[in-house]
Amino acid sequence: MTDATTTSTGDTPSDAGQARQIRSVLVANRGEIARRVFRTCRTLGIATVAVYADADAEAAHVREADAAVRLPGNAPADTYLRADLLVAAAVAAGADAVHPGYGFLSENADFARAVTAAGLVWIGPPPDAVEAMGSKTRAKELMDGAGVPLFAALDPGRVTASDLPLLVKAAAGGGGRGMRVVRELAALEGELTAARAEAAAAFGDGEVFVEPYAEGARHIEVQVLADAHDTVWVLGERDCSLQRRHQKVIEETPAPGIADGLRRDLHEAAARATRTIGYTGAGTVEFLVSRDGRPYFLEMNTRLQVEHPVTECVTGLDLVAAQIRVAEGAALDPSPPPSRGHAIEARLYAEDPGRDWQPQPGALHRFELPDVDTEFAVLPERTAGLRLDAGVTGGEAIGVHYDPMLAKVIAWAPTRAEAVRRLAHALERARLHGPVTNRDLLVRALRHPDFGAARLDTGFLGRHLPALTGAAGPEAPDRGRFAALAAALADTARRTSAAGPVLVRLGGWRNVPSQPQVKRFRSEPDGREYEVGYRLGRAGLDAAGGEGGEDYAGVRLVSAAPHRVVLDIDGVRRTFEVATYADTSPVRVFVDSPFVSSAFSVLPRFAPPQEQTPQGSLLAPMPGTVIRIGEFSPGDRVEKGRPLLWLEAMKMEHVITAPTTGTLTELTAEVGRQVDVGAVLAVVKEDTTP
């Protein structure tokens, strides 16, 4: 075992011992990882085959493949989790190998065996190794025997208050599904039930186990790559401590601030784990590192990780190409490529962190990231730069059936501080027109002083969530009102200037007694409303905020066009790019600039009467499927905040709680029923008794 710590040569596995050359690869997956594998295949001269559920018929990974095979239906259980359909698709399309990607069946030993039984090459570890690590309970037994440090599993029936807090985990699968933190013994049974149900739905296996939960621990994983010739490479470690719902959000390598001795122990333990199960291919050994610096084995992911690009950036190694060559029988060089610099990745999700991470399906009108150096590939010569691995493109719809991740944005630089700065800068300037995303949270997290000082642990996001999701300082509403003004002026330009792009130039502000034009906007996702009053005249733009309107003293209009507005604000010129999507209801406007990025819904001048819903109604916060209902019936008394039912949307489970204390008067939800956003699920009549 050799570590990677110095300047990279970009080495890849040699061709020695090659048993079979792959000509065509089917990727048994979708979205970003399918596109990532296809990119390497094109570079290697390998044909590509996509599979797609009906909801993905027009997806980017389908368009980019040489051939594509339909998997009828939308639910994962009917499509991407059907091993028989995936193998049949590979055979029908003439593929001679299958790459599983990550998630779905990537860690399913039976699928791996079915692939090889059909005479196809499995681009992954041996099925026995997959099976050995597939059950986390069995994996712990093996690792304990190999001397890898770990937490001992606990008997749920014998735990006491002294064992708290506890972690309930699914024995199969990962990604945070089937995982619950328990801080009160009374909640354990309910969390076990919920974890079993979620694990069974996600992985087809409802087995769970209980272990101690390490407060304040860091999540650090080690990347390994092994061949069939007894060579194991350790390609450094990644810190993955910034998580929501036990799913990683920001990952980086090398892990900052860990001692050399701990790093050595982690690498050696990962190598032992890899050799113990006869592993080949790319894999990741995951650890929790406690506050006192002691590592504990979590699991081994027998596949490519979502965060593999950061390792590629520091080593110069294409891990997908390495997977393919190892699957062909090639031998690794004796030593791995050394690493250089620092890389950091942020996962961009269509979700609202300020509303319990609710997924946000809908039309993605525009998706652009400035100054991207490469997509799905190692940065050229590992110069400081930016990489984008996106599963979507502008014009696609974000559906409710799959994970809400839109893309991964990766930055590499000689130092951590430079890489973090580059990543935050790029995210801040992204053009994201569509559903609410976690972009602002990512930028604020990257710029948080605790993150900059590498004070990291798995509770980071939860601990800082109010600061990361609230208004970004006292200037945020102020900047928002300038974006609203730009939106209003662009709308006027669009309506009145069909002949040319420029409406007015170098106008000035003055007070006038006449009635202004008024436009109203609601900011997304915070719901703040802006009323913009203004009048255009020969002298330019006159501001008239009016009663309750915004005050624009000190602002001068430079120019306005349907898609671009320039304002002079207190002597500083600011340019706002404006995009209006009139075919949505309500009309949505997106305003982008280095100064501020805002999304607005256009409000009518006089709000129309709204459809009335009963007071105390529980409305579906998103489209989804009702998967469970609490043991309540109409007429029962419920307490505010008590879980009443559970929705599943975009591979996550969401609890719908009672909005008030009172009587459940109506329950319209049914298990298995699909609901639209805003649908009334239940009604609770508030208890007004003193």
Which residues carry out catalysis?
303
Going 564 to 567 to 573 to 578, the CA torsion angle's sign is negative
CA dist., res. 155 & res. 136, Å (int): 15
Do residues 641 and 660 touch, judged by C-beta distance below 8 A? Answer: no
Q: Determine the 3-state secondary structure of 93 from DSSP.
A: helix
Name residue 224's beta-bridge partners. 234, 283
CA dist., res. 551 & res. 251, Å (int): 42
Between the alpha carbon of residue 551 and those of residues 96, 374, 485, 541, 558, the distances in Å are 66, 44, 10, 14, 18
Residue 490 phi, psi (nearest 5): -65, -35
Of the CA atoms within 13 Å of residue 551, those in its CB half-sphere come to 3
Q: Quick count: other Cβ atoms within 10 Å of Cβ 16?
A: 12
CA dist., res. 686 & res. 162, Å (int): 38
Q: What is the DSSP string of 36-49?
A: HHHHHHHHHT-EEE
CA angle 574, 577, 581 (to 5 degrees): 150
CA dist., res. 312 & res. 307, Å (int): 10
Nearest of 82, 89, 114 to residue 25 by alpha carbon = 89
CA dist., res. 476 & res. 472, Å (int): 5
**Token pair for 598:** 């805002």
What is the amino acid identity at position 669? A
DSSP letter for 679, please: -
Name residue 459's beta-bridge partners. none
Residue in the block written with tokens 């006027």: 492
Nearest of 432, 481, 355 to residue 588 by alpha carbon = 432
User: Secondary structure of the chain: what % helix, strand, coil (to 5)?
Assistant: 25, 30, 40
Nearest of 537, 456, 522 to residue 242 by alpha carbon = 456
The full length of the chain comes to 690
b or e along 366-397 (b: 16 or more beta carbons within 10 Å of the residue's beta carbon)?
bbebeeeebebbbbeebeebbbbbbbbbeebe
Residue in the block written with tokens 């599993």: 153
